[in-house]
Chain A
Amino acid sequence: MREMDALSALAGGALIGAAAVLLMLSLGRIAGIAGITGGLIGAGSGDAGWRLAFIAGLIAGPFLPALFGVPMPSVHVDASIPVVVVAGILVGFGVRLGSGCTSGHGVCGLARLSPRSLAATLVFMATAMAVVFAIRHVIGG
C-alpha cells in the first residue's frame, strides 16, 4: 500500500464515520446501507423520505471530492455478469437476513461495541476472504 493510499483510506474512513455520527445526531438512526435501503422495500413504514434523501446523497457523494481536486477513482468489476447477478442476490438476501452489512455491523455496530455486530463482521469477513482465496488460488491458481 502506498503512503498516499493509506492517507486516503484514513480520510475516507473518517468521512464515513462523520456521516454515521450526523445521522445518529439528527435522526437517531444507524447508518447501515442494508437497513436504510431494505426499509424501502415493501415495508410501507411511511418514513421513506429520509431514506431516499440519504441514498440520493450516497449516489451524488462520490462526485464531491472531485470539486476539491481529488481524482475520481475508477471502478473495476472483473467478475462476469452471471457471477455479478448471483453475488448481488446473495448480498441482498444475506444482509437482510443477517440484519446488516459492512456499514451497519462493521462500522456502526462495532462502534457501539455490539457483540452481535462483532460476530457478524468476523463471519462475513472470513467468508469473503475464503471465497477470494478459493477463486484466486485454488480455482484460478
Chain B
Amino acid sequence: MIAPMRGVIGIGMALLAGLLFGAGLSVSRMIDPAVVLAFLDVAAIPGGNWDGSLALVMAAAVGVTLAGYRLVLRRATPLFAPAFQVPTTRIIDGRLIGGALLFGLGWGLVGYCPGPALAGIGLGALKTWVFVGAMTAGMLLYRLVTERRGTGGAPVALSRK
C-alpha cells in the first residue's frame, strides 16, 4: 500500500477507536463524575449504597484488551504504522508514584479523569470545560517544568520493533 493511503486509513482507524472509547464511557456512565465518586466512596460499602460500576467497567475493559493484545502483538507490525510503540520500562520510581498520587488527589476531588472529561465536553456542562481547560494547563505546566530541568521528552523507553 502506498504511504499516504496508509496514513489516511490510520487516521480513520484512530477516529473509529475514539468513537468506540467515547461510546463506552457513555454506555458505562463513567462520563458522569457522580458515578465515579459513588464508586470511590468505599465507606458506602457496608451500608449497601455503594456503586461498584467502575470495577465492572475496568474488569470488562481489561479483559477485552488483554485478550486482544495477545492476538495483535503476535504480528510483526501494526496494520497502518511502521512499529508497535509499547512502553518497556519496568522501574517503579518516584515520578510514577508521585504522579499517580497527584492524579489521585485531583480525581477524588471532582470525579474526573482525562477520558471522561474530554468525552464530556460535547455535553455542554460549564464545569466540564473548566476542568478540561485546567487539565490542559496542568499538562502545559508539566511540560514547562521538565523543559526547564532538561528532562523533557518521552518519560519511558519505547520499543520500536
Contact = CB atoms under 8 A, between A and B. Distances in A.
Contacts of A114: 87, 90
Contacts, number: 487
Interface in A75-119: 75-79, 81, 83-99, 101-103, 105-116, 119
Contact of B113 (A41, A102, A131): A102
A9 B29 contact: yes
B66 A13 contact: no
Interface bracket on A:
35 or more
Given A22-B13, A129-B108, 16 more contacts: A9-B60, A17-B65, A29-B78, A31-B17, A34-B114, A64-B22, A64-B26, A76-B32, A76-B34, A91-B138, A92-B135, A92-B140, A112-B86, A127-B105, A128-B104, A131-B40
Interface of B: 7, 9-35, 37, 40-43, 50-54, 56-66, 68-69, 72-73, 75, 77-81, 83-87, 89-92, 95-115, 117-123, 125, 127-128, 130-143, 147, 155-156
Interface of A: 1, 5-6, 8-31, 33-34, 37-38, 41-42, 49-51, 53-65, 70, 72-79, 81, 83-99, 101-103, 105-116, 119-121, 123-133, 135-137
